[in-house]
Chains A and B, each alone.
Chain A
Amino acid sequence: MRIIEGRQLTKHFGGLAAVEKVDFHLNSGEIVGLIGPNGAGKTTLFNLLSGSLAPTAGAICLKGEDITGLKPNQICKKGVARTFQLVKVFPYLSVLENVLLGSLFGMSPGPRMMDAKTEAEELLGFVALSDMRENLAKDLTIANQKRVEVARALATEPELLLLDEVMVGLNPAEVVQFTGLIKKIRDKGITVLMIEHVMKAIMGISDRIIVLHHGEKIAEGTPQEIAASQEVIKVYLGK
């Protein structure tokens, strides 16, 4: 089943076409990688999907419902959650409060405080942060702040999770842990779309990969097909 679908998605910033007529879809339960050189429009595409930006043209359908132009808080309540390229935790709230906010506001109707707390505690266990729940988010390492972001996003009970470069800046051991975490998220039945520069990681866990270049989709396929694509190699390495 198609969970989300973009039709002729376009975003112009003045004369710059950051995203140009991109057609794509995600099937329920997939892990899909979104790759492309710097400035390819990956994060802009994420911003269109999460509602941070309204598209110049084109439409986004979530489970058949047109969600184009909705605000991020509305899209979140419909089951799309995200993390950010530069981590955006609430620095002076505790780790638990960060996640708690996700469960208190991410669903409608909102749960009761006790239920939300139980859920937040469970999620902290899921991302292996239970020991740090009373710490202020700003005092955590970047890798752990990224876990907080993932837990906070999961707390909104999404069906689709958008991960924007969660593995950048992590050491190899942390990359392995995060790869395991993303698989566990998929096993919960959540569809994952991830932007990643760590090629080894994304080739290893993606069911499919979409390649953007200068705002256009230039390739799509399994990791093997993408690795063998002349077009992709040309874009990444020059001719």
Chain B
Amino acid sequence: MIWMKITKAFSKRFFTIALFLAATGAATLPQYAPDYYILFFSSLFMYLISTISWATFSGTTGYISLASAAFFGIGMYITAILGEKLPFPLLILIGGFGGLLFALLAGFASLRIRGIYFAIFTLGLSEALKHLVNWWETTVEHTVGRWPISVDHMTSYYILLMILAVTLASCRLVRNSKFGLALKSIGQEEEAAVHIGINVNALKILTFAAGAFLIGATGATIATQKGYIDSSSAFDMFYSFMPALMALFGGIGTISGWILGSVFFSIMMELLQTRFPYYYMLIFGGAVVVIILFFPSGLLGAVEKWRKGGEWTE
């Protein structure tokens, strides 16, 4: 009992120290690190933001959204279209609101849809948006793709870091409030949740839309690091599947699990992409299969089990 208290106190202290170190490291990194690392960390922040936003809604309520790519693509396109006309901070805000608006529409349209149908609906919706943009570019504008404005990498890095800080703080705030408990109850027994006075529809749509805002703003920011975007790269399904995969891999139940999954996957992708550019997708796919088979409760779940002296796998 005392031992447990000590380890608990220690891990709490450890967490604070780790958070402080990570924050200082992240804040000072561009001062000494080469451009390559700034770009790597920018993409890590992007995955962290999308995974935490995704999991706060989908991981908790069980409504698996595959619409992240749509929010992301909307943000990117806003920077590409309005980049010359508006100041950068405003673009980020508009990118966020673009994602939010789309999420509100998708949310209202899918109120009655549950389970796997919600996943299919959101996947279809983002694919439809991708093809709509492509259709518009080919038939109306007769030119495919765009060149977003470019901003120096250090600026976009710091903006992504700020969005990440906002994401983490708001996620923790929600999860520690009564609404965090209500989101869990929706995932476990929605019928009962609505019968004890929880406005289930409002809570679902608002959480979904808040996540979409953050992902949209991220898309608007990271667009400045890409020289060229078109509908298939901006609305790539990859952006929808990665958050789900990362959260599942790290452990769907906790923020630490989501962070762990994002960091692990980002590093793995980067290593594979640079070391094995030709076999990257092959190895990556194989790794995902192995992970799902052997860590069904996520990396964090496996560690918990190992610490409790239980079996390694389910």
Partner-B contacts on A (CB < 8 A): 50, 52, 71-73, 76-77, 81-82, 84, 88-93, 97, 100-102, 104-108, 110, 113, 116, 149, 152-153, 155-156
- Which of B5-13, B90-98, B101-109, B189-197 faces chain A? B189-197
Is B163 in contact with chain A by the CB < 8 A criterion?
A: no
Contacts of A92 in B (CB 8 A): 184, 188
Chain B residues within 8 Å of chain A by Cβ, number: 17
A91 touches B188 (CB 8 A): yes
Separation in Å of the A109 CB from the closest CB of chain B? 12
Partner-A contacts on B (CB < 8 A): 178, 181-182, 184-185, 188-189, 191-200
Q: Which residue of A lies closest to B191 (CB)?
A: A88
Given known pairs A90-B184, A92-B184, the reply for A101 and B198 (CB within 8 Å) is: yes
B191 touches A90 (CB 8 A): no
Separation in Å of the A142 CB from the closest CB of chain B? 15
B184 touches A105 (CB 8 A): no
Contacts of A107 in B (CB 8 A): 197
Separation in Å of the A71 CB from the closest CB of chain B? 7
How many angstroms between the C-alpha atoms of A23 and B234 in the bound complex? Answer: 59
B194 touches A71 (CB 8 A): yes
How many angstroms between the C-alpha atoms of A153 and B196 in the bound complex? Answer: 7
- Sample of 18 A–B contacts (CB below 8 Å): A72-B194, A88-B192, A90-B184, A90-B188, A90-B192, A93-B185, A93-B188, A97-B181, A100-B181, A101-B185, A101-B193, A104-B178, A105-B198, A106-B196, A108-B197, A149-B192, A152-B196, A156-B197
14 new A-B contacts, CB < 8 A, other than A88-B189, A101-B182, A101-B185, are A50-B195, A73-B194, A73-B197, A73-B198, A73-B199, A84-B191, A88-B192, A89-B192, A90-B189, A93-B181, A101-B178, A102-B197, A104-B182, A116-B178
> Which of B189, B191, B193, B198 makes the CB contact (< 8 A) with A52?
B191
B195 touches A72 (CB 8 A): yes
How many angstroms between the C-alpha atoms of A35 and B195 in the bound complex? Answer: 23
Q: Which residue of B lies closest to A104 (CB)?
A: B178
How many angstroms between the C-alpha atoms of A84 and B193 in the bound complex? Answer: 12
Contacts of A77 in B (CB 8 A): 197
A82 touches B188 (CB 8 A): no
A89 touches B196 (CB 8 A): no
Contacts of B197 in A (CB 8 A): 73, 76-77, 102, 105-108, 156
Separation in Å of the A46 CB from the closest CB of chain B? 11
Q: Which residue of B lies closest to A116 (CB)?
A: B178
Given known pairs A93-B184, A101-B185, A101-B196, the reply for A110 and B178 (CB within 8 Å) is: yes
Separation in Å of the B175 CB from the closest CB of chain A? 13
B178 touches A113 (CB 8 A): yes
A81 touches B195 (CB 8 A): yes
How many angstroms between the C-alpha atoms of A71 and B203 in the bound complex? Answer: 14
Separation in Å of the A156 CB from the closest CB of chain B? 5
A101 touches B181 (CB 8 A): yes
Q: Which residue of A lies closest to B177 (CB)?
A: A113
How many angstroms between the C-alpha atoms of A230 and B178 in the bound complex? Answer: 53
> Which of B181, B185, B200 makes the CB contact (< 8 A) with A73?
B200
Q: Which residue of B lies closest to A162 (CB)?
A: B195
Separation in Å of the B188 CB from the closest CB of chain A? 4
Contacts of A105 in B (CB 8 A): 178, 182, 196-198
How many angstroms between the C-alpha atoms of A156 and B194 in the bound complex? Answer: 12
How many angstroms between the C-alpha atoms of A155 and B192 in the bound complex? Answer: 13
A81 touches B196 (CB 8 A): yes
Q: Which residue of A lies closest to B192 (CB)?
A: A88
Separation in Å of the A53 CB from the closest CB of chain B? 12
Contacts of A89 in B (CB 8 A): 189, 192
Contacts of B196 in A (CB 8 A): 73, 76, 81, 101-102, 105-106, 152-153, 155-156
Contacts of A104 in B (CB 8 A): 178, 181-182
How many angstroms between the C-alpha atoms of A97 and B196 in the bound complex? Answer: 13
How many angstroms between the C-alpha atoms of A67 and B78 in the bound complex? Answer: 45
How many angstroms between the C-alpha atoms of A85 and B186 in the bound complex? Answer: 19
Which A-B residue pairs are the 6 nearest by beta carbons? A88-B192, A76-B197, A105-B197, A106-B197, A90-B188, A104-B178
Separation in Å of the A113 CB from the closest CB of chain B? 7
How many angstroms between the C-alpha atoms of A24 and B202 in the bound complex? Answer: 33
Most buried by B among A76, A100, A101, A116: A101
Contacts of A52 in B (CB 8 A): 191, 195
Contacts of B194 in A (CB 8 A): 71-73
A73 touches B178 (CB 8 A): no
Contacts of B193 in A (CB 8 A): 90, 101
Most buried by A among B182, B192, B193, B195: B195
Contacts of A82 in B (CB 8 A): 195
Contacts of B182 in A (CB 8 A): 101, 104-105
Separation in Å of the B196 CB from the closest CB of chain A? 5
Contacts of A100 in B (CB 8 A): 181
How many angstroms between the C-alpha atoms of A91 and B189 in the bound complex? Answer: 8
How many angstroms between the C-alpha atoms of A93 and B195 in the bound complex? Answer: 17
Separation in Å of the B55 CB from the closest CB of chain A? 16
